[in-house]
Amino acid sequence: MTTSPYLESRGVSPVLPASRGVLSCAVLSALRNGNAPLVDPHAVSDADPYGDDLQLALYVLYELHYQGFDGVGDDHEWDPDLLRLRGALEHRFLTALRTDVPGKADAHDALATILTEPAVDDGTGVSNFLRNEGLLWQVREYAALRSLYHLKEADPHAWVIPRLHGRAKAAMVAVEYDEFGAGHVEDIHARLFADLMDDLRLDHAYGHYLDAAPAQVLCTVNVMSLFGLHRALRGALVGHFAAVEVTSSPGSRRLAEAMRRTGAGPAAARFYDEHVEADAVHEQVVRLEVIGPLLTAEPGLDSDVAFGIQATGLLEDRLGAMLLAAWRDNRSALRIPLAAPAQHPGSR
């Protein structure tokens, strides 16, 4: 039997998405036509910092530093007019995050709030919902939305590596090495997620579900690039990475159970099984070998690490609330609902 060659999810750049307002329209028009983005001075300050228009504009501008878009020249990555607009959008987003996080905290206290799982499973949270009662169509929606990050998993966090030194850098590189498959292409976590999407009969092409993704999803992806592309926010990026690794193992265990219960397929379950084991180790490394040495060398970054942890929790909570509200009302959480799969994901 001949096996078709694996089609790399990032082998082809995605097409530009549809606009969602004046800000994203200005960005997309500039990329299509090569002109400076025309934006009313009040458009950014009046925009919802967590809304579709601002977040899509940011997402598109950030993607110029990753995969880019079909038909958009690489020189746009450092276009000064686009960078000025991106700076204004980032300021609006970052100001909102700093205003809305729970409050002043140090890294130790911020970590303490996420280190312990509740003693009683009250069934709240997306992973609890999917494990306990989620349907296959909801599992597929979750995977489609998460693909905006998982198909470039760990890439945003790699921005911090040249900004660390000593033990913190060595430990961060060790964790990232695992994320990128420890030298084995088939074990790169982004590749494992593409395999998960194949089991669920989803299109694993990079950025395919951008138009379907609501703002709450874009926020969770954009915050990584926001932190990663600014050296001044390196502490916040480490805090974000810590929050992801600390909460990943128990959540992944529930999601692996959800994949099995809904018959999603072996590759779908494998992705989360891998994260149960790997992230349990990564959590210890990030806390003890990245954050510890980083704050010993640069104690002034303590509040930034805490901010990164809290901002991650804030945005994930907003996303979770949106998903659960839609699913409990038997509605799609996507802006464009998925088509039904051609065949059951468990079959071949």
pLDDT, tens digit, 9 for 90 and up, residues 43-89:
999 999 999 999 999 999 999 999 999 999 999 999 999 999 999 99
Three-class SS of the chain: CCCCCCCCCCCCCCCCCCCCCHHHHHHHHHHHHCCCCCCCHHHHHHCCCCCHHHHHHHHHHHHCCCCCCCCCCHHHHHCHHHHHHHHHHHHHHHHHHHHHCCCCCCHHHHHHHHHCCCCCCCCCCHHHHHHHCCCHHHHHHHHHHHHHHHCCCCHHHHCCHHHCCHHHHHHHHHHHHHHCHHHCHHHCHHHHHHHHHHHCCCCCCCCCCCCCCCHHHHHHHHHHHHHHCCHHHHHHHHHHHHHHHHHHHHHHHHHHHHHHHCCCCHHHHHHHHHHHHHHHHHHHHHHHHHHHHHHHHCHHHHHHHHHHHHHHHHHHHHHHHHHHHHHHCCCCCCCCCCCCCCCCCCCC
40 — pLDDT class (breaks 50, 70, 90) = confident
**Inside any domain, residue 336:** no
**Inside any domain, residue 10:** no
What span, in angstroms and rounded, lies between the C-alpha atoms of 39 and 59?
A: 17
Q: What is the pTM assigned to this prediction?
A: 0.94
Residues 296 and 267 in one domain: yes
Last residue of a domain, one of 100, 116, 140: 100
Is pLDDT of 347 > 60? no
- For 214-235, what is the mean pLDDT? 98
Q: Which residue has the tokens 């959008």?
A: 89
What span, in angstroms and rounded, lies between the C-alpha atoms of 56 and 131?
A: 30
Whichever domain contains 265, its CATH number is: 1.20.910.10
Residues 70 and 117 in one domain: no
Is pLDDT of 3 > 50? no
Count of the separate structural domains present in the chain: 2
Residues 83 and 160 in one domain: no
Residues 76 and 188 in one domain: no
Residues 62 and 146 in one domain: no
Residues 54 and 125 in one domain: no
Residues 137 and 274 in one domain: yes
**Inside any domain, residue 342:** no
The conformation of residue 70, written as its DSSP 8-state character, comes to T
Residues 221 and 322 in one domain: yes
Residues 111 and 163 in one domain: yes
Range of the domain at 125: 107-328
**Inside any domain, residue 1:** no
Last residue of a domain, one of 49, 72, 100: 100
Residues 231 and 296 in one domain: yes
**Inside any domain, residue 191:** yes
98-143 pLDDT, tens digit each: 999 987 789 999 999 988 765 445 567 999 999 999 999 999 999 9
**Inside any domain, residue 212:** yes
**Inside any domain, residue 341:** no
Q: Which of the residue ranges 132-136, 213-217, 279-283 would you say has the lowest mean pLDDT? A: 279-283
Residues 286 and 163 in one domain: yes
Mean pLDDT of the chain: 92
Last residue of a domain, one of 100, 135, 165: 100
**Inside any domain, residue 16:** no
Residues 212 and 268 in one domain: yes
